[in-house]
Amino acid sequence: MSDEEDLPSLQELDKSIKEAKKRAEGGDSQANKSGSAFRTSIDLVAGVIVGSVAGYYIDKWLDTLPVFFIVCFFLGVAGSALNIYRSIQRDNNKDS
Amino acid sequence: MSEGQSPLEQFKIKYYTDVPEIFGANLNFSNSSMFMVFVITAVSLFLILSMKRRELVPGRWQSMAELSYELVANMIKDNVGNEGKPYFPIIFSLFMFVLFCNLFGMLPYSFTVTSHISITFALASLVFIGVTVIALVKHGVKFFGFFLPAGTPWWMAPLMYFIELFAYLARPVSLSIRLAANMMAGHTMLKVIAGFVVSLGITLGWAPLAMLVVLTGFEIFVAVLQAYIFTVLTCVYLNDALHLH
Which pLDDT band holds residue B43 (cuts at 50, 70, 90)? very high
Residue predicted with more confidence, B232 or B54: B232
| Eight-class DSSP state of B11 | G
In angstroms, the CA B80 to CA A68 distance is 37
Among chain B residues, the shortest Cα distance to A39 is held by B178
Query: What was the pLDDT predicted at B198?
Result: 87
Residue B106: how many other CB atoms lie within 10 Å:
17
Alpha carbon of B146: minimum distance to chain A alpha carbons (Å): 14
Full residue range of the structural domain in which residue A26 is found: 3-95
Contact B174 A38 (CB under 8 A): no
The H or E element containing residue B243 is helix B206-243
Task: Give the tens place of pLDDT for each residue, B141-152.
Answer: 888 888 887 788
How much of chain B, in percent, has pLDDT values that exceed 90? 59
| Eight-class DSSP state of B25 | B
Residue B209: pLDDT over 50: yes
Task: Give the tens place of pLDDT for each residue, A10-62.
Answer: 778 778 877 776 665 554 555 566 667 767 888 888 999 999 999 999 999 99
pTM over 0.90: no
Q: Where does residue A76 rank: exposed (0-12), middle (13-18), buried (19+ CB within 10 A)?
A: buried
Contact A82 B167 (CB under 8 A): yes
Q: List own/partner pairs for B23-31 with CB under 8 A and 24 or more apart.
A: B31/B111
CA atoms within 13 A on the CB side of A63: 0
Alpha carbon of B244: minimum distance to chain A alpha carbons (Å): 14
Interface of A with B in 42-81 (CB under 8 A): 42-43, 45-47, 49-51, 54, 72, 75-76, 78-80
3-state secondary structure of B211: helix
In angstroms, the CA B105 to CA B32 distance is 11
The H or E element containing residue B21 is none
Q: For chain A, give the longest Cα–Cα distance.
A: 90
In angstroms, the CA B101 to CA B99 distance is 6
Task: Give the tens place of pLDDT for each residue, B120-141.
Answer: 999 999 999 999 999 999 998 8
Q: What is the mean pLDDT of chain B?
A: 89
The CA dihedral of A8, A12, A15, A20, to the nearest 10 degrees, is -160
Q: What is the mean pLDDT of chain A?
A: 78
Of the listed ranges B44-58, B119-133, B169-183, the least confidently predicted one is B44-58
Tell me the mean pLDDT in the region B79-87.
90
Question: In terms of Cα–Cα distance, which of A83, A67, A65 is closest to B169?
Answer: A83
List B15's β-bridge partners, or say none: B30
Residue predicted with more confidence, A88 or B65: B65
Per-domain boundaries in chain B: 9-243
Contact A39 B229 (CB under 8 A): yes
Query: What was the pLDDT predicted at B126?
Result: 95
For A42, which of B163, B177, B221 is closest by C-beta distance?
B177
Tell me the mean pLDDT in the region B53-57.
81
User: DSSP characters for B144-198?
Assistant: GGGGS-TT--TTTHHHHHHHHHHHHHHHHHHHHHHHHHHHHHHHHHHHHHHHHHH
